[in-house]
Amino acid sequence: MSRVGKKPIPTPGVTVTVNGQDVKVKGAKGELSFRAPDEVAVAHAGGELIVTPRNDTARARALWGTTRAILANQVKGVSEGFEKTLELVGVGYRAAMQGKNLQLQLGLSHDVVFEPPAGISIACTKQTEVKISGVDAQMVGQVAAEIRSFRPPEPYKGKGIRVNAEFIRRKEGKKK
Protein backbone atom coordinates (compact mmCIF):
# COMPACT_ATOMS: atom_id res chain seq x y z
CA MET A 1 0.00 0.00 0.00
CA SER A 2 1.24 3.44 -0.87
CA ARG A 3 1.40 5.69 2.16
CA VAL A 4 1.42 8.76 -0.06
CA GLY A 5 -1.27 7.50 -2.43
CA LYS A 6 -3.77 6.70 0.35
CA LYS A 7 -4.02 10.34 1.50
CA PRO A 8 -6.82 12.34 -0.12
CA ILE A 9 -5.91 15.75 -1.53
CA PRO A 10 -7.97 18.60 -0.01
CA THR A 11 -9.04 21.19 -2.61
CA PRO A 12 -10.21 24.34 -0.75
CA GLY A 13 -10.68 27.33 -3.05
CA VAL A 14 -9.70 25.28 -6.11
CA THR A 15 -11.97 24.12 -8.94
CA VAL A 16 -11.21 20.56 -10.05
CA THR A 17 -12.67 18.94 -13.17
CA VAL A 18 -12.15 15.21 -13.73
CA ASN A 19 -13.04 13.90 -17.20
CA GLY A 20 -11.91 10.28 -17.49
CA GLN A 21 -8.12 10.39 -17.08
CA ASP A 22 -7.88 14.16 -17.69
CA VAL A 23 -7.74 16.35 -14.58
CA LYS A 24 -8.00 20.15 -14.76
CA VAL A 25 -7.15 22.24 -11.71
CA LYS A 26 -8.06 25.93 -11.63
CA GLY A 27 -7.27 28.35 -8.83
CA ALA A 28 -6.45 31.97 -8.02
CA LYS A 29 -2.92 31.83 -9.52
CA GLY A 30 -3.73 29.97 -12.75
CA GLU A 31 -4.84 26.75 -14.37
CA LEU A 32 -3.05 23.41 -14.88
CA SER A 33 -4.04 20.13 -16.49
CA PHE A 34 -2.76 16.59 -16.10
CA ARG A 35 -3.45 13.30 -17.86
CA ALA A 36 -3.39 10.49 -15.30
CA PRO A 37 -1.92 7.13 -16.35
CA ASP A 38 -4.38 4.35 -17.21
CA GLU A 39 -3.23 2.29 -14.20
CA VAL A 40 -4.83 4.70 -11.69
CA ALA A 41 -8.31 6.16 -11.28
CA VAL A 42 -8.91 9.74 -10.13
CA ALA A 43 -12.16 10.85 -8.47
CA HIS A 44 -13.29 14.18 -7.03
CA ALA A 45 -15.79 13.92 -4.20
CA GLY A 46 -16.56 16.00 -1.13
CA GLY A 47 -13.96 18.67 -1.81
CA GLU A 48 -11.18 16.07 -2.08
CA LEU A 49 -9.27 14.40 -4.89
CA ILE A 50 -8.85 10.65 -4.40
CA VAL A 51 -6.39 8.52 -6.39
CA THR A 52 -6.77 4.73 -6.43
CA PRO A 53 -4.93 1.99 -8.35
CA ARG A 54 -7.04 0.03 -10.86
CA ASN A 55 -5.19 -3.26 -10.23
CA ASP A 56 -2.49 -4.68 -7.97
CA THR A 57 0.51 -4.65 -10.32
CA ALA A 58 3.86 -3.15 -9.35
CA ARG A 59 3.49 -0.44 -12.02
CA ALA A 60 0.02 0.55 -10.77
CA ARG A 61 1.27 0.83 -7.19
CA ALA A 62 4.26 2.91 -8.31
CA LEU A 63 2.09 5.29 -10.34
CA TRP A 64 -0.45 5.57 -7.51
CA GLY A 65 1.79 7.63 -5.22
CA THR A 66 3.40 9.49 -8.10
CA THR A 67 0.05 10.60 -9.54
CA ARG A 68 -1.16 11.69 -6.12
CA ALA A 69 2.02 13.75 -5.56
CA ILE A 70 1.75 15.43 -8.98
CA LEU A 71 -1.90 16.34 -8.39
CA ALA A 72 -1.13 17.63 -4.88
CA ASN A 73 1.61 19.86 -6.34
CA GLN A 74 -0.81 21.17 -8.96
CA VAL A 75 -3.44 22.01 -6.32
CA LYS A 76 -0.79 23.78 -4.21
CA GLY A 77 0.60 25.57 -7.29
CA VAL A 78 -2.69 27.09 -8.45
CA SER A 79 -3.59 28.21 -4.91
CA GLU A 80 -0.22 29.33 -3.44
CA GLY A 81 2.37 29.03 -6.21
CA PHE A 82 5.99 27.87 -6.01
CA GLU A 83 9.14 29.93 -5.58
CA LYS A 84 12.88 29.23 -5.66
CA THR A 85 15.65 31.65 -4.75
CA LEU A 86 19.03 31.65 -6.50
CA GLU A 87 22.05 33.19 -4.81
CA LEU A 88 25.05 34.37 -6.84
CA VAL A 89 28.30 33.96 -4.90
CA GLY A 90 31.51 35.35 -6.38
CA VAL A 91 33.32 38.61 -7.04
CA GLY A 92 31.61 40.46 -9.89
CA TYR A 93 28.72 37.99 -10.17
CA ARG A 94 25.56 40.03 -10.77
CA ALA A 95 22.04 39.58 -12.06
CA ALA A 96 19.70 42.18 -13.54
CA MET A 97 16.42 42.18 -15.41
CA GLN A 98 16.51 43.29 -19.04
CA GLY A 99 12.82 43.58 -19.92
CA LYS A 100 11.49 40.06 -19.27
CA ASN A 101 14.89 38.45 -19.74
CA LEU A 102 17.44 37.77 -17.01
CA GLN A 103 20.94 39.11 -17.66
CA LEU A 104 23.74 37.41 -15.70
CA GLN A 105 27.36 38.53 -15.31
CA LEU A 106 29.21 35.39 -14.23
CA GLY A 107 32.87 36.12 -14.90
CA LEU A 108 32.64 34.96 -18.50
CA SER A 109 33.79 36.99 -21.52
CA HIS A 110 30.13 37.75 -22.28
CA ASP A 111 26.89 38.30 -20.38
CA VAL A 112 24.48 35.37 -20.23
CA VAL A 113 20.91 36.30 -21.20
CA PHE A 114 18.19 33.86 -20.12
CA GLU A 115 14.66 34.10 -21.52
CA PRO A 116 12.13 32.53 -19.12
CA PRO A 117 9.48 30.18 -20.54
CA ALA A 118 5.77 31.08 -20.45
CA GLY A 119 4.22 30.84 -17.00
CA ILE A 120 7.45 31.59 -15.12
CA SER A 121 8.25 35.01 -13.65
CA ILE A 122 11.75 36.04 -12.61
CA ALA A 123 12.61 38.96 -10.32
CA CYS A 124 15.93 40.32 -9.06
CA THR A 125 15.51 41.53 -5.49
CA LYS A 126 19.24 42.28 -5.09
CA GLN A 127 22.13 42.13 -7.53
CA THR A 128 23.11 38.75 -6.12
CA GLU A 129 19.63 37.26 -5.61
CA VAL A 130 17.13 35.99 -8.18
CA LYS A 131 13.59 34.80 -7.36
CA ILE A 132 11.85 32.36 -9.73
CA SER A 133 8.12 31.84 -9.27
CA GLY A 134 5.28 30.08 -11.06
CA VAL A 135 2.38 27.65 -10.63
CA ASP A 136 4.08 24.52 -12.02
CA ALA A 137 6.57 23.03 -9.52
CA GLN A 138 8.40 21.04 -12.18
CA MET A 139 8.85 24.07 -14.43
CA VAL A 140 10.10 26.30 -11.57
CA GLY A 141 12.67 23.66 -10.61
CA GLN A 142 13.72 23.14 -14.23
CA VAL A 143 14.29 26.87 -14.79
CA ALA A 144 16.30 27.09 -11.54
CA ALA A 145 18.43 24.13 -12.65
CA GLU A 146 19.05 25.66 -16.09
CA ILE A 147 20.17 28.97 -14.60
CA ARG A 148 22.36 27.14 -12.05
CA SER A 149 24.01 25.19 -14.89
CA PHE A 150 25.54 28.40 -16.28
CA ARG A 151 27.94 28.48 -13.28
CA PRO A 152 27.46 25.63 -10.77
CA PRO A 153 29.11 26.10 -7.36
CA GLU A 154 32.70 24.91 -7.18
CA PRO A 155 34.04 23.14 -4.06
CA TYR A 156 37.25 25.14 -3.42
CA LYS A 157 36.03 28.73 -3.05
CA GLY A 158 32.25 28.11 -3.19
CA LYS A 159 31.76 30.48 -6.13
CA GLY A 160 28.77 29.92 -8.39
CA ILE A 161 24.98 29.96 -8.40
CA ARG A 162 23.26 28.27 -5.45
CA VAL A 163 19.59 27.25 -5.36
CA ASN A 164 17.71 27.91 -2.08
CA ALA A 165 20.99 28.46 -0.15
CA GLU A 166 22.19 24.91 -0.86
CA PHE A 167 25.10 23.55 1.14
CA ILE A 168 28.35 23.19 -0.78
CA ARG A 169 30.83 20.69 0.64
CA ARG A 170 34.13 22.53 0.59
CA LYS A 171 37.46 20.89 -0.26
CA GLU A 172 40.82 21.76 1.13
CA GLY A 173 43.26 23.35 -1.33
CA LYS A 174 46.83 22.29 -2.11
CA LYS A 175 49.31 21.98 0.74
CA LYS A 176 52.94 23.00 0.60
Mean pLDDT of 25-45: 93
- pLDDT-based confidence at residue 1 (cuts at 50, 70, 90): low
pLDDT tens digit string along 83-114?
999 999 999 999 999 999 999 999 999 999 99
> How far apart, in whole angstroms, are the C-alpha atoms of residue 112 and residue 127?
15
70 close to 46: Cβ distance less than 8 angstroms: no
Tell whether pTM > 0.85. yes
Mean of per-residue pLDDT scores for the chain: 93
Mean pLDDT of 6-28: 92
pLDDT at 46: 87
Percent of the chain with pLDDT over 70: 99
pLDDT tens digit string along 37-83?
999 999 998 889 999 999 999 999 999 999 999 999 999 999 999 99
| Domains, the chain | 3-79 (3.90.930.12), 82-163 (3.90.930.12)
Alpha helices for the chain (secondary structure H):
3-6, 58-79, 137-148
